[in-house]
Structure 1
Amino acid sequence: MKARNAVVLVLALAGILIAAQYYADDPVSESAELVISFEPDNIGVVSLGRQIYDQNCASCHGFDLEGELSWRQRKKNGRFPAPPHDEFGHTWHHTEDVLFNITKYGPAALIGDPTYQSDMPAYNDILSDTEIVAALSYIKSRWPDNIRKKHDAITAANEKQNQ
């Protein structure tokens, strides 16, 4: 009986160690526990978000969210230009959680490929979660109502699927 208990204890500890290593190596999965909710109708959040966006994002994504020219074609260095964040880009095709994680951890972490090269920095050491949500809320506040509704539906469908 003692040997059996020891085996169970060892297996339980091994499981805990494996889980701890998984979450330590995968910041995107760890952040999935956060509840992310944009506030595009909150004037205070959007105002802060515009300041954050202008200071940290507009130099690449444009002050009018227009992105870089030819944003779907790789540059000579193999990296993609910054996409637009307006209704003509693909930003609104991603859930709020995905947008938050791309901004916080960068594209390489999101896709699970640390060798992926992108000009998009990770902002986890630059912006707080509140500032990231504010910047993304500002972006969403600029979308037409029909695009915001589509984005809400995409986010809601993903949340339902993950329950």
Structure 2
Amino acid sequence: MTGRGRRMLLVAAAVVALAAGLGGAVLLAAGGGEDPPAGGADAAVLARGRELYAQHCASCHGAALEGQPNWRQRRPDGRLPAPPHDASGHTWHHPDAQLFELTKRGPTALVPGYASDMPGFGEVLGDGEIRAVLRFIKSTWPAEIRARQEALGAARGRPP
């Protein structure tokens, strides 16, 4: 191997090591991966998720993630009110991959013929932003609920 080839190999190895060391931060910023790193970066992701939730979700799902009243009963138009995202709702019954797709594409894109007021947010929020919102929502759940929801993801696979 030439000197130039060795240098390129070392640079490539350094980039891989740096990316591995940064873990979720690199993937989250690029819109891939799911879990942000622990510590200060995690606090920043949660703060951003909280901010985005307040801006894009709270008007329907509630500032305290409480959902709309009677969220299990169809309205006269046949649509269901927005469900809560706190531990009392059903959000945690879905694996991360499904929550991500529902948020990005909207329920009607995933279930043909299903009537919903919820739009897809893929044109408004980037993948990393959607993951930050979901991360914030999950951070409000009790440890037992988070563990049960994470087990669903392990059984069904993680987001793309």
Question: Which residue in the other structure is 2:107 paired with?
Answer: 107
1:3-44 C-alpha deviation (Å, 9 max, x unpaired): xxxxxxxxxxxxxxxxxxxxxxxxxxxxxxx96524496211
Contact in 2 for aligned 1:87/1:143 (Cα 8 Å) = yes
Q: Quote the Cα distance in structure 2 between the aligned partners of 1:65 and 1:40.
A: 24
**Are the aligned partners of 2:106 and 2:118 in contact in 1 as well (CA < 8 Å)?**
yes
CA distance in structure 1 between the aligned counterparts of 2:53 and 2:106, rounded to whole angstroms: 16
The answer as to whether partners of 1:38 and 1:136 remain within 8 angstroms in 2 is no
Kept in 2: contact 1:106–1:123 (CA 8 A): yes
1:60 matched to 2:60: yes
Stretches of structure 2 that go unaligned for 5 or more consecutive residues are 1-30
Q: What residue is the counterpart of 1:26 in the other structure? A: none
Flag the 1:92–1:39 CA change in 2: closer, same or farther, 3 A. farther
Are 1:117 and 2:115 counterparts? yes
User: What letter is aligned with 1:119?
Assistant: D
Q: Which among 143, 146, 157 is matched to residue 144 of structure 2?
A: 146
- AA paired with 2:139? S
| 1:86 alignment partner, SS class | coil
Instruction: Give a deviation string over 1:92-141, Cα, whole Å, max 9, x none.
Output: 00010000000000001122x0x322110111111111110000100000
Q: How many residues align?
A: 125
Structure 1 stretches of 5 or more lacking a match?
A: 1-33
Which residue is 2:85 aligned to?
85
d(CA) in 2 for partners of 1:144, 1:38: 18
Tell me by how many angstroms 1:61 deviates: 0.3
Name the amino acid aligned to 2:118: M
d(CA) in 2 for partners of 1:40, 1:87: 24
2:101 is matched by which residue type in structure 1? N
CA deviations 1:56-83 (Å, max 9, x no partner) are 0000000110000000001111100000
Are the aligned partners of 1:65 and 1:86 in contact in 2 as well (CA < 8 Å)? yes
Structure 2 Cα separation of the partners of residues 62 and 40 of structure 1: 28
Normalised to the residue count of structure 1, the TM-score between the two structures is 0.72
The amino acid that maps onto 2:134 is L
TM-score (norm 2): 0.73
Structure 1 segments of 4 or more deviating over 3 A? 38-41
Task: Give the whole-Å Cα distance in 2 for the aligned partners of 1:144 and 1:40.
Answer: 20
Query: Percent identical across equivalent pairs?
Result: 50
Paired residue secondary structure (1:52): helix
Match of 2:153 among 152, 155, 159: 155
CA distance in 1, matches of 2:114, 2:140: 30
